[in-house]
Amino acid sequence: MSDSLISTLDEGRSEPDHLRQDLWSVLKGMLAREFLIALRRRQELVNPLVFFVIVIVLFPLGVSPDPGFLKAASAGVVWVAALLATMLSLDRLFQGDYEDGALEQTVLCAQPLYLLVLTKNLVHWSLTGLPLIVLSPFLAVMMNLESEHIPVMILTLVIGTPVISLMGGIGAALTVSLRSGGVLISLLVLPLTIPVLIFGTGTIQASIDGLPIGGHLAIMGAMLALALTLSPFATSAALKMSVSN
C-alpha cells in the first residue's frame, strides 16, 4: 500500500515537470518558426523601418529646418513616427497563420493560448520595435535633440513600443478574418496607444525642460505591466471569436 502511494506521488510530482517541458518545447518551436517566417518575408520587416526613416527625414524639409524648432518638435516627431511604423506591420501579425490554417491549430493547442500569443507579440516587437529603437538615436541627432536627452528617449521607446505591439495584437486578432483589416486596426488601436504617446513625448520634453521624469516613467511602466498582464488574454479571446466565425 505504501509503495503504491509513493509511486503515485512521484508520478504527480513528475507530471508538472513533463508539462512544463512540453510547454517550453512548444514556445521554442514557435519562436523558431516565427523568426524563420520573418526572414522569408524580409520586405515586410524593412517597410516599417523605411517608413520610420522617411517620416523623420522629410519632417525638417516639409516644415522647418530651424534648429530650435526641430529641438522642440523632436520628441513628438520621433514618437509619432515610431507609433505609425509599428502599426504598419500589425495587419500581418496573425493574417499569415489564418490563411494557412496554422492559427486554428494554435487556438486548439493544449498549451495556454495567452502564452503563445505573448510569444508572437515578443517576436513582433523584436523585429519591429527593437530596430526602431536602434535607429532612433541617429535620427534624433538629425532632429537636433541634444545627446544628454537621447538615453531618455531610448528608455521611453523601450517601455512604450512593447505596449503598442501588445495593444495592436488585440486589434489584429479582432480583424484577422476580414479582407481589409488594416484601416480597422488603426481605428481600434490608435485610441489605446494615445496615452503611451502622450507620456512618451512628455517624458522627453520634461528631460529637455530640466524637470523630473520619474513620475512619467513610472506611469509608462504601469502601462507596460497592465499590457503584459491583460493584452494576451484579450487577444486570445479575440482570436477564438475570429476563428470560430
| Domain assignment present for 44 | yes
DSSP letter string, 113-135: HHHHHHHHHHHHIIIIIHHHHHH
Q: Label residue 15 by pLDDT band (50, 70, 90).
A: very low
Lowest mean pLDDT among 58-62, 124-128, 184-188, 192-196: 184-188
The amino acid at 111: Q
Count of domains for the chain: 1
C-alpha distances out from residue 113 to 34, 96, 233, Å: 16, 17, 8
Residue 63 has pLDDT above 70, yes or no: yes
pLDDT (0 to 100) of residue 221: 94
| Domain assignment present for 3 | no
Q: Label residue 227 by pLDDT band (50, 70, 90).
A: very high
- The domain containing residue 193 runs over which residues? 14-244
Give me the residue label for grid cell 490608435: 190
| Domain assignment present for 29 | yes
pLDDT (0 to 100) of residue 1: 40
| Domain assignment present for 8 | no
Residue 226 has pLDDT above 50, yes or no: yes
Three cell numbers, residue 186: 488603426
Of residues 243, 238, 245, 233, the one with CA closest to residue 116: 233
CA 11/CA 18 separation, integer angstroms: 10
Residue 6 has pLDDT above 50, yes or no: no
The string of pLDDT tens digits covering residues 163-222 is 999 998 888 888 887 766 567 777 888 888 899 999 999 999 999 888 899 999 999 999
| Domain assignment present for 195 | yes
Residue 151 has pLDDT above 50, yes or no: yes
